[in-house]
Amino acid sequence: MPFSFPAEDRSRRAAYTQNSLDRMSAEREDADFVAAVRNDAHARVIVAVGDKLVLDRTTHTILMPAERAQALGADLGEALFLGLVGWAASPQLRGAVAGRPAVLAAPSSMAPEQLEAAGLALVDLRTLALEAAVPAEELGAAAEARAVFNWHQSHRHCSRCGSATTMSSAGFRRDCPSCGAQHFPRTDPVVIMAIVRDDRILLGRQARFPPGMYSCLAGFVEPGETIEDAVRRETWEEAGIRVGRVGYHSSQPWPFPNSLMLGCFGEAETGEIVADLTELEDCRWFDRPAAKAMFAETHPEAITAPKPLAIAHHLLKTFIETA
């Protein structure tokens, strides 16, 4: 009997999940290769100013030609190498550039007024997704860049000896010249779970949420913990609900600052909520009609669902559509 796979890649439903760049991770240690892609006249560059990205609203792109990126103050000699556009024609050519343009990311210190005078806009990553301002593939590359930039900003010094570190490996490592330690970008796994019981789903809200919005519970996976046990522990800690069976649904890069959201469904074994009010402002069960009203923004209490950019939206939608 053949193995049964899901009919679709459900992770593609959420924002930041489409990124088909060939990352060429093995070539990042090759100084000649890195120099070549950084000097590629056909390269496209994501230019960042602080935590925002430069957007050309006329062409709906954040990928600037290399020459234009340099004119905007981007130093391509220190740019992150995100990958090459397209995949090699065969495994034998996987280490070759083979005419594929590079995609880079580099910071700029240019003033916002200068960018606006050049007909460009500065837009944060969430807004890019909410407005669908760029193609999904560009949004995925932007999430890769934003996560690595976030890591560099918070790891300027060696965690072993405290000395200042330097960027290497095309931006995917920092080296300590004092003690020789190597530091790599971190990704923090976070479980986000739709807990169901008797045709109801458990949702909560935090004070920082937009008014009226409820979402799935979530929390970081701890050392030595499985995804399933993290779902059970976080649900117990935040809502006092015991969870039995857990199933994986989909995942989503979440570069705010460096997370990977692991979407799951969990089966509640108990129903009485005892919410941790230091974590949550409220927590309650919703049946399918109430969940549908949240989506339609017709709930009598003006309760709304997370936006489609978030994996929580798609977990809730799956619950609604699964009888």
Contact 94, 28 (CB under 8 A): no
Residue type, 64: M
Residue corresponding to tokens 């530091």 = 183
Residues sharing a CB contact under 8 Å with residue 66, sequence separation 6 or more, in sequence order: 40, 41, 42, 43, 44, 45, 76, 104
Residue type, 95: G
Residue type, 10: R
Backbone angles phi, psi at 162, to 5 degrees: 90, -5
Structure tokens at 251: 């995942």
With 0.75 as the threshold, say if the pTM is over it: yes
Residues sharing a CB contact under 8 Å with residue 273, sequence separation 6 or more, in sequence order: 202, 239, 240, 241, 283, 284, 285
Rounded Cα gap, residues 53 and 103, in angstroms: 15
Instruction: For the chain, 323 residues long, give each residue's pLDDT as a single digit of tens.
Output: 788 888 899 999 999 999 999 999 999 999 999 999 999 999 999 999 999 999 999 999 999 999 999 999 999 999 999 999 998 888 888 888 888 999 999 999 899 899 988 889 999 999 999 999 999 999 999 999 999 999 999 999 999 999 999 999 999 999 999 999 999 999 999 999 999 999 999 999 999 999 999 999 999 999 999 999 999 999 999 999 999 999 999 999 999 999 999 999 999 999 999 999 999 999 999 999 999 999 999 999 999 999 999 999 999 999 999 86
Rounded Cα gap, residues 233 and 242, in angstroms: 8
**Of 312, 311, 316, 310, which is closest to residue 293 (Cα–Cα)?**
316
Q: Residue 91, Cα to own-chain centre: how many angstroms?
A: 29
Rounded Cα gap, residues 12 and 233, in angstroms: 27
Domains in the chain, CATH or no CATH each: 10-158+167-183 (no CATH), 188-321 (3.90.79.10)
